[in-house]
Structure 1
């Protein structure tokens, strides 16, 4: 993909015109670009230099060089850090990156330990804290990609990083999910390739965002796995089920739920508090929202009750998920005001620092 095609795709993902992009660049960075100049970039008549790449990174909130490797990654990181990141933070990131390259960095086993910790912390921490920390880890692991095992680490970190952006923002979350899938392919590990795509599919499907991408990644996971039961395949199937329900294809959604339950019976995990696990309570959270979207009140309530019986006390955010599913059921049954009030009360009962982007998107769905 040429850099011009990439700029156009990111602009269109935001729903911006060329004039709007030019105005955003001019307002934020004091440039004097015109719509025609943006057009010349997109048609590859002119290639933006380092300064304009940094400006584009800041305005579009996407590391363009990293997405497709069209420009030198280290040069781009330096320029982006210089314009879009506070100097102290930029210094820390650059120091970590070069230190990892010069000193070999953490071992593959060390990285697996870090991923396990992040998997647990994601379930209770806020998106901004996770985003800040994982961005630093990505700078470090980027320097160690001579080892295929570390492509597996990088792809899973990218997936987690993508989860800290709203899935409805195609220029952020979706771009990171796509890049995570490519990184997983570099690992040459089937389990990683399936899990990364499946996790992205369930994230987008659960949020009700970018459904075409959710379907695409789910289909890729299914094809790679050959339908061999795994947590990645389970996530893919359930993500595809949510996408079908939102589109109004209730028959397909129900069939996929049946498939998901069958895969869960073979692949369920005993770990209760990790983003890398799908225990009984979490499968019921997936089912609860799906049934609420389908208008199947009995299945939804049964799933909510089953989830509550086993949901760990240290994960109150997921209790809020279940309460908001009830708010969605009320709104879909015709009591929109009651459903919105119920969901808002559930959100307000949860400390603000534990709110997630997914909960906010659920609130928007109920209000709509």
Structure 2
């Protein structure tokens, strides 16, 4: 059952989102185990209504719910019937994610202290995967991580890991409203960590994600100001994120002079931070900084956008294909702002359609919407 479902379904954050077929399989499994929805509500921690909605395909089904159904079935049926009915819930999620759920979960149950260095190394690798493969690839792993971490956080430094994972997870969601909810949870987790650098990074990264997308500008400004105030002027990756988000939020809200002034400060902080060339979502090498500069100046209607696009072309790694599409959409925005809206929109659509669908991101679609609205 598992591989077949994965071929037909859409794996989203370690869950099958709105999948009636999977819900029906779970209902059949529960019935075979002679359990009620109320029984499963107690086992999973969800309400009976929520369990009903999951079985009817109206709600997404988290990894821990899949495992709860498998456990219940194992307790009430023999091995043969379990294999036929469910085929192993762990097969419905990535084997690596299932292994992490079980390993971390039993560590917490047995009182073992999670290895913070291991989690941070894992988080860094997720940042690499996010950049090279895209949001959909890391979403299931993040969901698996978070399903464990919510039960295993027992030290301030672990709250720092949770906060950063929540931010990255928010970036994999399908709309600004969903992303903001996760960013706000991340801010709470960052505060619980007691680490100011984490708080600055979380607020700054949220500001940049929203600011670059031109979405929820007031919220982007709020996050940016929080990070800037917390930093007290000390250069850091978090402050750099905040300033990049701040400049874009100012530009999209019509405060062009202030945006230019903020960009000057952003460049000074960039020079002070001196990011490396490593490709991870937690780093801004020169070519990626140029992507931010290109869109900013396109939004300002400033010809300097072309200079930044030249920097992208000169320094972008060959495997970072979707960022070439970013630059092409920036050109499309310049065309539209120059008076040829239809030409800009056609150029933008062509650029986006040339990128494989699994490489497209929310940012690119929002950028195309921005061109339409010029």
The TM tier, using the shorter chain, reads: 0.7 to 0.9
Q: What is the aligned partner in structure 2 of residue 367 from structure 1?
A: 372
Identify unmatched segments of 5+ residues in structure 2: 1-22, 24-45, 70-87
Cα-Cα RMSD: 2.9
Pairing 1:301–2:306 present: yes
Q: How many residues align?
A: 305
* Pairwise CA distance, 1:367: 2.2
* Pairwise CA distance, 1:197: 0.8
Matches for 1:1-368 after TM superposition, within 5 Å:
50-52=47-49, 89=92, 92=98, 95=102, 98-103=105-110, 104=112, 106-168=114-176, 170=177, 172-296=178-302, 298-368=303-373
Q: Distance in 2 between matches of 1:61 and 1:216?
A: 31
Task: Quickly say closer, same or farther: Cα 1:167–1:249, change in 2 above 3 A.
Answer: farther
* Pairwise CA distance, 1:51: 2.9
Q: Distance in 2 between matches of 1:167 and 1:235?
A: 20
Task: Quickly say closer, same or farther: Cα 1:292–1:59, change in 2 above 3 A.
Answer: farther
DSSP-derived class of the 1:123 partner: helix
Deviations 1:59-101 (A, max 9, x none): 79899xxxxxxxxxxxxx759987xxx9655894864563241
Q: TM-score, normalised by structure 1?
A: 0.75
Q: Does the 8 A contact of 1:269 with 1:277 survive in 2?
A: yes
Identify unmatched segments of 5+ residues in structure 1: 1-28, 30-48, 64-76
Greater displacement, 192-201 / 127-136: 127-136
> Which of these two proteins has the greater Rg computed from alpha carbons?
2
Q: Does the 8 A contact of 2:132 with 2:320 survive in 1?
A: yes
DSSP-derived class of the 1:122 partner: helix
Task: Quickly say closer, same or farther: Cα 1:289–1:80, change in 2 above 3 A.
Answer: farther
Q: TM-score, normalised by structure 2?
A: 0.74
Q: Distance in 1 between matches of 2:262 and 2:343?
A: 30
Task: Quickly say closer, same or farther: Cα 1:54–1:229, change in 2 above 3 A.
Answer: farther
